[in-house]
Amino acid sequence: MKNTLLAYFTEFIAINTQSDPETDTYPSTEAQELFAEVIAGKLSVMGMKDVNVDRWSYVTATLPANTDEKLPVIGLIAHMDTSPDYSGMGIRPNIINDYNGSDIVLKDGIVISPAEFPILKNYVGKTVITADGTTLLGGDDKAGMAEIFTAMDYLIKHPEIKHGTIRVAFTPDEEIGAGVDHFDTEKFGCDFAYTIDGGDEGEISYECFNAARAKISIRGKSVHPGSGKDSMINAALLAAELNALLPDETPRNTEGYEGFFHLTDIKGDVSRASLEYIIRDHDRQRFEARKQTLKKAADKINARYGSRVETDIYDEYYNMAEVIEKNKSVLDRAVKAAEKAGVVPDIRPIRGGTDGARLSFMGLPCPNLFTGGHNFHGPYEFVVLESMEKAVETILNIVTA
């Protein structure tokens, strides 16, 4: 199983499938369309049935039941794209067999050190996989893809293992919040599903942030600086002033269930400025209050300088706990499957979101399972091959329970 898993993973990460938030196409990049066709072909060759790539580049396939016992139809979902936050072009995996616990020195001065990432100490003697320092690794979520592929390959090669109908899906554009914009849950036809898109070994999540995005545009008043007394209004300074009105609750200063305001982009000059934020909180009431806090900050700027600020705040997804708590058997199944694989379940909230959050509100309860990855979206990313194996075992235990 280990060799199969590693082969799928290294093959998938070699293909650059970054999503792009600046395009107006779906999927957002042509590379994802091409990748969808590649993985559909691999699913067909493997022996999966009903393999399909739809107009939106969703890839779906079925492993039919091999028992007459009435069992639920279970879905397994991973996303094809990698984050646009850091380069995914020309990923070269650095495979460290029997990791010795020392610093992992990569190109461009990148050092993945146990001093900064103490969890590395848990993986002495394991197989640690990084990129070379110039790119992200792509474990988010090609580790999840490889684990689903490996599990299906194993079941096809071992027909003596009885299971119900299994549906798999691979989605584009998850990293830019659009992963299930066009996903047809009714057509997918599952009783429940799992996204394989989590972090370190044992992580099982059914809680996530409530999420919103804010786009703020500011109109200044450009006057020659030599004669700007009491007349110039510098849009860039207004942007800084608005940000200073927000509480110091940023990703750097928060953890656990604490929410935040995250300034993701700022541009400006005297005439015009813009800011973009993501707003996150696990609690719905605090989430709504955060959106109002940002609006009030804009209102204060407008009160001081006239109507200079326009805000566009829109919700992206909600905390899937609202749905999963009414379908706890789906979570219990995952916990028991992990325990059967010899994994200690670590049920914790996601400080982010997954396709599963939106799918849960679309009628498909969908907790999130670990992949064995760490430090996603940058050059410090790594995955642990043995943890990936445990993810495969957990998947197999879920679908054969």
- Joined together, the tokens standing for residue 152 give 């299906």
276 is catalytic: no
Q: Which of 173, 174, 201, 355 is catalytic?
A: 174
Structural domains present in the chain: 2-208+319-399 (3.40.630.10), 210-317 (3.30.70.360)
Q: Give CA–CA dist 301/268, Å, rounded.
A: 16
Q: Which of 81, 173, 175, 381 is catalytic?
A: 81
CA atoms within 13 A on the CB side of 335: 10
Q: Give CA–CA dist 27/84, Å, rounded.
A: 14
- Cα dist from 237 to 116, 234, 268, 294, 349, whole Å: 35, 5, 9, 17, 37
Say whether the peptide bond before residue 141 is cis (omega within 30 degrees of 0). Answer: yes
Sheet (strand 309-317) strand order: 260-268, 272-281, 210-219, 309-317
Angle between helices 2-13 and 139-157 (to 10 degrees): 140
pTM: 0.89
Contact 289, 227 (CB under 8 A): no
The residues near 210 (Cβ < 8 Å, ≥ 6 apart) are: 280, 281, 282, 283, 284, 287, 315, 317, 318, 319
Q: Per-residue DSSP letters for 189-234?
A: T-SEEEEE---STTEEE----EEEEEEEEEE-B---GGG-TTT-B-
Say whether the peptide bond before residue 72 is cis (omega within 30 degrees of 0). Answer: no
Angle (nearest 5°) at CA 383 between 351 and 144: 70
**How many CB atoms within 10 Å of residue 84?**
17
Task: Give the residue from 218, 264, 214, 215 showing the smallest Cα distance to 241.
Answer: 218
Question: Residue 20: helix, strand or coil by DSSP?
Answer: coil
The residues near 27 (Cβ < 8 Å, ≥ 6 apart) are: 19, 33, 36, 56, 57, 81, 172, 173
CA dihedral 326, 328, 334, 340 (to 10 degrees): -170
Q: Per-residue DSSP letters for 331-361?
A: HHHHHHHHHHTT---EE---SS--HHHHHHH
174 is catalytic: yes
Q: Give CA–CA dist 87/81, Å, rounded.
A: 12
CA atoms within 13 A on the CB side of 92: 6
CA dihedral 343, 348, 352, 358 (to 10 degrees): 90
Written as tens digits, the pLDDT of the chain (401 aa) is: 899 999 999 999 999 999 999 999 999 999 999 999 999 999 999 999 999 999 999 999 999 999 999 999 999 999 999 999 999 999 999 999 999 999 999 999 999 999 999 999 999 999 999 999 999 999 999 999 999 999 999 999 999 999 999 999 999 999 998 999 999 999 999 999 999 999 999 999 999 999 999 999 999 999 999 988 989 999 999 999 999 999 999 999 999 899 999 999 999 999 999 999 999 999 999 999 999 999 999 999 999 999 999 999 999 899 999 999 999 999 999 999 999 999 999 999 888 777 899 999 999 999 999 999 999 999 999 999 999 999 999 999 999 96
Task: Give the residue from 236, 254, 16, 10 showing the smallest Cα distance to 145.
Answer: 10
Give me the residues paired with residue 129 across strands: 95, 383
Contact 334, 194 (CB under 8 A): yes
